[in-house]
Each structure stands twice: as C-alpha cells, then as structure tokens.
Amino acid sequence: MSDTDREDAEAAPPVPLSMSAEVEGYAWVRDTIGESGGAVYRLRDKAGAPDLFLKHGWDAVADAITEEMVRLRWLAAYVPVPAVVQFVRTANEAWLLMTAIPGKTAYQILSSSVAARPAVVDALSAFLRRLHAIPTSACPFSSDHAHRLAIARWRIDAGLVDADDFDEERQGWTVEQVWNGLQELLPLEAEPVVTHGDFSLDNLLIHNGAVVGCIDVGRAGIADRYQDLAILWNCLHEFGPSLQGRLFQQYGATDPDRRKLQFHLMLDELF
C-alpha cells in the first residue's frame, strides 16, 4: 500500500485562527483509512518544513482526539510517538496537530517484501516488549477489560457497532451474540501492563528495520497484555501462521493463552 492508495488531495479546511500560522504553506491530503468518524490530514510539501498530521472531529470524536492528545504527551517520555505541535478544543470540536513519524507502516512493508517479514515481526515484538515494560505505577490511564466492556455496552445500546465489519470468524453474528460470547469467557485473569490499545500493523512505523514510532494511541492505558498481543496476532493472520507463531516466540509467550486471544478479539469487534 502506497501513500497515494490511502490519501486524497483536498483543499485546506478551516482551522482555528491560532493554528493558521502553523499550517500555512502546506499541501493537504486526507487519509482515507481508519478515520473512526473524524478527519485525518497529512500536511506536506512545504519547503524546508517537515510533514505534519492534523486530526479533527466533533462531539464523541472530539473527545477521542482529546484523549489521544493527553496520552501522546504522556507516552512521549517512554516510546516514540508523534509530538503534539498544537491542540485546540472547543465545547464540541477538537483539532490535534502533530509531527509526522518517518518510515512506512508495518503493513506496507509486510505486503511489499516477503523476505523482510521475519525481521518485521521481530521488530514489532521488541517494540511491544518495550511498551509493556513501562511501569504501570507511572501510567495514569486505565483501559482494562472491565472499563472497555462498559464502553462496548454503551456503544451497542447507542447503535454504534457495525456487525458487517466483524472479522471473518464472526461474519453473520449479531452484536448481541458477540456480547454474550464475551460474557461466557469471563472472569478473565489479567496480566496488567501499559498497552497501546490498538496495536495493529497500520499503527506502527518502521524505518531501517526498526520500529520508530506508534500512532493512534487514544486507547493506551493499563490493561491485560493480550489486548495488544491479540490484535497484532490477528493482523498477522493475513501473512501466515508461521509469523503468528514467531510473534509469540519473540515476545516471550511460549504458551499463548487462546482464551484471552479470543476474548480480546471479540471485544475489539465492538469498537
């Protein structure tokens, strides 16, 4: 996947006056993947200036952007994440301007080079170990499964869950079937660590063979380690079971907990 596959050129949208000087002179393209109800723009091609990203949204999306901004500022002390250039929030609208991390997504590299795949998985595993090694005592955010289940129930009741977007394994399921399936897997004995929350191949940037940063950290917080392991393991399914097995080997989970994998993947369906 190239940048042009996921971006459409657009005219610059209105921004707060206080942000106008920061974005002046850039060409704007809008990201067409994973916007989650908001708008994501890359600002590029300004002479002598680095690329930037801008996230913008209203209401619940504005709240999510605000949560991401707070987590970006906290995580920056521990792992590479986009730097917050400027943040503007009104009662129902938010703009988050960030630096762009160089490199390609893990998905782009896995898709374009079979030979590079083992090394990519090794790099992802090493970065995940680094993230999970952050002291939980230092983390002010909770993203545990009880918290996420409460949000999931609210999303179900509000009609925000799209059953047509479920993974192949659960195609044809209703939203309530997923919810009931989750209840059958409880109680869950958690191994709390600092998690990313959406540790997927599109959210991890690689340059010169190493993970140089992660993006979309709005769900980061203390949760069971399988919150991240399950999503990455599921993403690697497209590239074959050997890479999925390599993930656990390199991470250090020699006997993966299949029940936890199932639980966290079912829970992710509701977000």
**Of the given ranges (31-40, 115-124, 208-217), which has the lowest mean pLDDT?**
31-40
Q: Which of 186, 201, 194, 262 is nearest to 225 (CA)?
A: 194
**Of the given ranges (30-34, 81-85, 147-151), which has the lowest mean pLDDT?**
30-34
Q: 153 and 91: one domain?
A: no
Q: 137 and 232: one domain?
A: yes
Q: 222 and 108: one domain?
A: yes
Query: Which range marks the domain in which residue 161 is found?
Result: 104-268
Q: 92 and 159: one domain?
A: no
Give the pLDDT of residue 6: 65
Confidence of residue 63 (pLDDT cuts 50, 70, 90): very high
Catalytic residue list: 198
Residue 58 pLDDT exceeds 60: yes
Give the pLDDT of residue 5: 55
Instruction: Supply the angle between the helices 258-268 and 145-157 in degrees, to the nearest 10.
Output: 40
Give the pLDDT of residue 4: 46
Give the pLDDT of residue 32: 77
Confidence of residue 19 (pLDDT cuts 50, 70, 90): very high
Domain end residue (candidates: 48, 68, 99):
99
Report the SS3 class of residue 10: strand
Give the pLDDT of residue 1: 35
Give the pLDDT of residue 43: 97
Distance CA 250, CA 248 (A): 6
Region 68-97: mean pLDDT is 98
Dihedral (Cα; 200, 203, 208, 212), 10-degree rounding = -120
Give the pLDDT of residue 34: 56
Q: 117 and 84: one domain?
A: no
Q: Which of 99, 54, 81 is nearest to 205 (CA)?
A: 81
Q: 55 and 169: one domain?
A: no
